[in-house]
Structure 1
């Protein structure tokens, strides 16, 4: 069932006049309703304005973009970075730029729609993907480009990427959407780039949203200096409006807040996982706060106990139902204990 609300869904939401705990969405650090984060953002809006519609190639350029990109590249562990107005745009940017005769696209299981440029279907298993990529290498000179989500909620990729390792990585360009990892997993919220960089990949490019982990409306692409320079020189990048500079400034200045929120999130994850008796009911990844399940009755049961979770067909109405319990840094101990009690007493 869908509900319309009039305020941001934080740790609580009100439905039909009744207060419910909210364990859904993607506000993993709870930044959007954090007063300190809001104050910092508002102060930067006063400095930089509410929007900036000029091209990054304009003769007048704001230095905060370069500062934010240097900051992000350092955290993630890449040579360079560029930012855009959204994570979806970052994925589409890469798919469009790489869609040439020199490349052949392959999509891993559960790849997000942000990375699709054509009607190519994703492979249902990594085994079939591996066969297809190797057959292509034997019969063509074009470079395979493999797209995948770092965190696809099946537990297949992050944190070990064991299935990915069967591919001939030394011969492919790997494009990874790390929207659900950036700001959350990895050292200092750096995501999966440093993990994947240890593999012998021909070229690694990571993209994603900065909204889920860092709490700002923006996207980013990470890669080598050569690749980022090439992307920066495209008409796509020059013609698109950037993320708002107030968001970029907030990203750079919110280090202490991010660190505090990640610690609180880890505390909540430890509490939930350590006391969850029905672990086999869920698919989850170590170090990530989302617990996916397929039991529709569980969603209904939790709602009857005034707990709302994420549950809807994604990314369109023809897709399978996606249900998950999502922990946030904004949840209090009593919130976690309540949802645990409701789950653990089930037969």
Structure 2
């Protein structure tokens, strides 16, 4: 084990991909951590498609997406991602962090220094930018102002398993240009039957054509791909393509884009398995009164950090460490995946109930 911050478990170091179980120092543990919500990282069929992609595209294509030689597999993957979330268009990059930084760096230059904005508490660092103000109410100006505004937010509180209400969108002014940027890294593939937050937001913005919506996400969570994606209208994405952030960065490995394009119904089938597991997990874990969980989100959060070493002693590894920095409080979560079995869920529920009785 490696060292860890005070109040957190020492980290396991292993030499294999986590699946339903992990092996550490000769012992096997049930694994209820990570972000492979759909289990695609461990899916044998995806492994086969990736091998096919590697044979076709090699390990990587370290060239600008704006170069004079372009691989069409990226456009194919972007079209499929856009169709998944019902967005007009998509643009892929090499990580979710880069997706956010491409957008906010562009946004800072577009809105200018006089823009006012609001960065919601808990917004992921991917959407932080030194020129974009935080915690300022952009909607207290006189009606008819020409000053643009922006809002930066997450789609879900991935730490404490809470989904956010966006009902406030209906109250936005209609005579002001507003940029709404939402990080959907933990919602893509999960929320709204796997479509993520885009369709929910566009429905709530029906009467607000003045609001320009941009959604960013990591593909490394539920989608199981080493990359990031930006959803918006084609004009906005065309502008983002011209930025130095986008043009100077290598894309995601094309072999993974190929695997996604060729994945067929694998993601839809995995979502169905996850939904069944999640329904059973709610039935088993919520009655312990130890956890809170947003409906449809595969994370069960608890304030009882001491349950992590207790479960570890029973051969069950759960998420428990300080985040986003080592100075932050440890947070403890049980993460459900499509690859778990009913027996796995019954086992963790048994020991969670046992722990609850000990309190």
Find the aligned partners of 2:293 and 2:133 in 1 and give their Cα distance: 25
| Secondary structure at the counterpart of residue 25 of structure 1 | coil
Alpha-carbon spacing, 1:249–1:103, altered in 2? closer, same or farther (3 Å): farther
TM-score (normalised: structure 2): 0.88
Superposition pairs for residues 79-90 of structure 1, below 5 Å? 79-90=88-99
1:203 aligns with 2:212: yes
Farther-moved stretch of structure 1 (275-284 vs 2-11): 275-284
**Match of 1:133?**
138
**Match of 2:234?**
225
**Match of 1:240?**
249
Farther-moved stretch of structure 1 (82-91 vs 169-178): 169-178
**Match of 2:70?**
61
Task: Give the gaps of 5 or more residues in structure 2.
Answer: 1-8
Alpha-carbon spacing, 1:303–1:109, altered in 2? closer, same or farther (3 Å): same
1:166 Cα deviation from its structure 2 partner: 7.2
1:141 Cα deviation from its structure 2 partner: 4.2
The superposition leaves residues 125-179 of structure 1 with CA deviations (integer Å, 9 ceiling, x where unpaired) of: xxxx6xx222356797432211111011345544x434x4476264431101101
Q: Match for 1:38 among 47, 55, 69?
A: 47
**Match of 1:116?**
128
| Secondary structure at the counterpart of residue 332 of structure 2 | strand
Corresponding pairs, count: 337
**Match of 1:303?**
312
Contact 2:162 2:293 in 1 (8 A): no
1:310 Cα deviation from its structure 2 partner: 0.8
Alpha-carbon spacing, 1:320–1:167, altered in 2? closer, same or farther (3 Å): farther
Contact 2:116 2:138 in 1 (8 A): no
Alpha-carbon spacing, 1:155–1:221, altered in 2? closer, same or farther (3 Å): same
The superposition leaves residues 170-200 of structure 1 with CA deviations (integer Å, 9 ceiling, x where unpaired) of: 443110110111122224x221100011122
Find the aligned partners of 1:251 and 1:198 in 2 and give their Cα distance: 27
| Secondary structure at the counterpart of residue 82 of structure 1 | strand
1:168 aligns with 2:177: no
Contact 1:277 1:344 in 2 (8 A): no
Farther-moved stretch of structure 1 (290-299 vs 214-223): 290-299
1:182 aligns with 2:188: yes
| Secondary structure at the counterpart of residue 255 of structure 1 | coil
Farther-moved stretch of structure 1 (262-271 vs 149-158): 149-158
Contact 1:52 1:241 in 2 (8 A): yes
Find the aligned partners of 2:104 and 2:27 in 1 and give their Cα distance: 44
Contact 1:53 1:241 in 2 (8 A): yes
The superposition leaves residues 235-263 of structure 1 with CA deviations (integer Å, 9 ceiling, x where unpaired) of: 22111111111111111111321112111
Alpha-carbon spacing, 1:39–1:30, altered in 2? closer, same or farther (3 Å): same
The superposition leaves residues 260-290 of structure 1 with CA deviations (integer Å, 9 ceiling, x where unpaired) of: 2111111110111122343642221111101
Contact 1:27 1:212 in 2 (8 A): yes
Contact 2:170 2:204 in 1 (8 A): no
Find the aligned partners of 1:277 and 1:220 in 2 and give their Cα distance: 34
TM-score (normalised: structure 1): 0.91
Task: Give the gaps of 5 or more residues in structure 1.
Answer: 124-128
1:24 aligns with 2:29: no
Find the aligned partners of 2:32 and 2:345 in 1 and give their Cα distance: 9
1:69 Cα deviation from its structure 2 partner: 0.9
Contact 1:111 1:122 in 2 (8 A): no
Find the aligned partners of 1:16 and 1:144 in 2 and give their Cα distance: 54
